[in-house]
Amino acid sequence: MAKFEKGRSGNPGGRPRGRTLQDRLRSAVSERFDELVRSLIDRAIEGDAAAANCLLTRVVPTLKPAQEPMDLEFLSGSLQEQSLATLEAVAAGELSPTDAKLILESLHLAARVKETTETSKQIALLSLQIDHMRTPK
């Protein structure tokens, strides 16, 4: 039997809903929301950097750098050879360290996928061999 019944509080005599400090603050802000936002905007326009920061961080999404497509023709061979080619491209100034990091992380992920796939195949093969050994002749 379940410890608590579904839909029934484990502490029926506990704090009633809407009574936490967070709930009271939300209620107070919602009552004067338009006035508060207008005040923030006015302060930001007057040069208050904190007010401007508050508005911009809450309203405007953070800008992320645009990633240009990369030419990966220099990558060939094994994963190890591709990793070395990436490092050589950085050393030669042909590739930024940031782009190299993305490539190396991708190569690392590819290596993990390859490793997992090969391990799964080996486990399946061993399982078949064990089943074959257990099957009476």
CA neighbor of 59 nearest in space, from 37, 28, 32, 27: 37
Q: Which pair of structure tokens corresponds to residue 42?
A: 């006015």
Residue 37: pLDDT over 60: yes
Residue 104: pLDDT over 90: yes
CA 35 – CA 30 distance, rounded (Å): 10
What are the tens digits of pLDDT across the range 42-82? 999 999 999 999 988 888 878 877 777 888 888 889 999 99
Task: Supply the pTM of this predicted model.
Answer: 0.48
Residue 12: pLDDT over 80: no
What are the tens digits of pLDDT across the range 14-35? 777 767 888 888 888 899 999 9
Q: What is the mean pLDDT of residues 111-115?
A: 95
CA neighbor of 100 nearest in space, from 87, 82, 81: 87
| pLDDT value for 116 | 96
Q: What is the mean pLDDT of residues 75-93?
A: 93
CA 41 – CA 55 distance, rounded (Å): 7
